[in-house]
Amino acid sequence: MTKAPKRPRDFSQAAKFVIDVATGQVEDREPAPIESGKEYAQKGGLKGGPARAAKLRPERRAEIARKAAKTRWQKQRDRQT
């Protein structure tokens, strides 16, 4: 995917940019997920988490949860200082 062009600072260049966008010569925004095909990738990602959790042993899930909670508490403590 190409990056959107930087907006010009000069008034004349900005006016030309607006005309180019209006006529469709330049894209002003990123394509929507449906337009870019991300919709299907998202559906696969939504299935992956529950599938992984079902495969893990309860001890391993608890270990992962403890590590996540510890990290959250650490981040919260860092923000307060």
pTM above 0.75, yes or no: no
Confidence at 26, pLDDT banded by 50, 70, 90: confident
Query: pLDDT: is 6 or 50 the higher one?
Result: 50
**pLDDT for 71:** 94
For residues 66 and 62, what is the distance between their CA atoms, to the nearest angstrom? 6
User: Residue 57: pLDDT above 90?
Assistant: yes
* Cα–Cα dist 30/4, whole Å: 7
